[in-house]
């Protein structure tokens, strides 16, 4: 896919041009992606979040980045807000694709909604800039992934703020510390998809919250090479991913005590989590779901994809 000729899009809206140009730029970065993959693999033994990164190469997040300052987006300051838009190598389900971006809350402006072609819901009218920036960055990634597949790009929100995806598709959104990640996949035979990004807890935070996150005996499953605050962050994130994956089927909130971590493969970046309560048909107590985790820049990203 080449860069579109300006004459071929002259009749398009500015928002459509932005999306089309962005997709074209991403598609023209294959060589850059291969080079960056080799460089990131060479860093596999680097320290991640204060301890050795022990995930195998295939578990590293592979970035394919396009900087917005190379694109014809209205307002040169936009790249100061949204940058490092990238694909991620997450492929836990057939046809799954994921994207990542960084954003700066200090550079947020309401005008960016219009510039990026993202509708701002009324519920955000009185929201703080942080919430608006998170929503905008994540919904823009949704828009890119959907447009790339020829799908309607609007992702609404349900009664409990859950994303509403086009029929036949499912997705998941997460954001933390000015970083947003979105994954999208065909829903197939009832795919459940959940993604969560967290920064490592401090020792003090872990001491204060661990009893509300772990059930009795669960701490034993987290014993391993990681400091307890990091292992607790993994458990917290895994349960957040579980909630996001299961909520569309369950239709109601459930707490951390509805499941427990039973296994962590620290080297392969895999974990298992068992339901302790029956939540819905097919999601009975005792069912075990598997997930993966990935490390980057002092954060842990967890993903659950199950049918």
Phi, psi of 216 (to 5 degrees): -55, 130
134 annotated as a binding-site residue: no
Q: Which residues are CB-neighbours of 223 under 8 A, at least 6 positions away? A: 231
131 annotated as a binding-site residue: yes
Rg of the Cα atoms in the chain? 20
Quick one: angle between helices 203-213 and 228-250, nearest 10?
40
Is residue 176 within a helix (H) or strand (E), and if so which, with residue range?
A: strand 169-176
284 annotated as a binding-site residue: no
100 annotated as a binding-site residue: no
83 annotated as a binding-site residue: no
58 annotated as a binding-site residue: no
Reduced to 3 states (helix: H, G, I; strand: E, B; else coil), residue 118 is coil
249 annotated as a binding-site residue: no
Q: What span, in angstroms and rounded, lies between the C-alpha atoms of 154 and 151?
A: 9
Q: What span, in angstroms and rounded, lies between the C-alpha atoms of 197 and 177?
A: 9
17 annotated as a binding-site residue: no
Q: Which residues are CB-neighbours of 61 under 8 A, at least 6 positions away? A: 40, 88, 89, 90, 100, 294, 296, 301
Q: Is 85 left (phi over 0), alpha (psi -120 to 50) or beta?
A: beta
Q: How many CB atoms neighbour CB 35 within 10 A?
A: 11
Binding-site sequence positions = 131, 139, 174-175, 196, 198, 240, 244
Binding-site sequence positions for Mg(2+) = 196, 198
Binding-site sequence positions for CoA = 131, 139, 174-175, 196, 240, 244
């Amino acid at each position: 896919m080449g860069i579109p000729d300006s004459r071929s899009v002259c009749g398009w809206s500015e928002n459509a041009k932005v999306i089309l140009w962005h997709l074209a730029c991403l598609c023209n970065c294959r060589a850059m992606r291969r080079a960056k993959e080799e460089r990131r693999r060479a860093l596999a033994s680097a320290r991640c979040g204060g301890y050795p990164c022990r995930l195998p190469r295939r578990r590293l997040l592979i970035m394919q980045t396009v900087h917005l300052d190379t694109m014809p987006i209205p307002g040169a300051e936009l790249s100061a807000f949204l940058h490092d838009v990238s694909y991620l190598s997450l492929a836990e389900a057939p046809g799954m694709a994921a994207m990542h971006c960084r954003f700066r809350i200090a550079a947020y402006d309401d005008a960016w909604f219009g510039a990026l072609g993202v509708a701002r819901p009324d519920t955000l009218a009185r929201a703080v800039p942080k919430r608006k920036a998170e929503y905008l960055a994540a919904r823009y990634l949704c828009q890119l992934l959907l447009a790339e597949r020829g799908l309607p790009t609007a992702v609404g929100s349900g009664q409990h703020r859950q994303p509403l995806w086009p029929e036949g598709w499912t997705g998941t959104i997460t954001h933390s510390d000015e970083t947003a990640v979105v994954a999208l996949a065909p829903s197939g035979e009832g795919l459940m998809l959940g993604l969560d990004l967290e920064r490592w807890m401090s020792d003090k935070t872990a001491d204060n919250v661990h009893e509300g996150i772990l059930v009795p005996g669960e701490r034993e499953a987290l014993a391993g090479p990681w400091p307890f605050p990091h292992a607790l962050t993994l458990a917290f994130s895994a349960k957040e991913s579980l909630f996001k994956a299961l909520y569309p089927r369950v239709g109601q909130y459930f707490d951390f005590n509805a499941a427990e971590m039973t296994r962590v493969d620290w080297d392969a970046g895999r974990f298992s989590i068992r339901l302790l309560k029956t939540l819905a048909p097919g999601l009975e107590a005792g069912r075990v779901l598997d997930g993966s985790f990935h490390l980057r820049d002092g954060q842990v990203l967890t993903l659950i994809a199950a049918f």
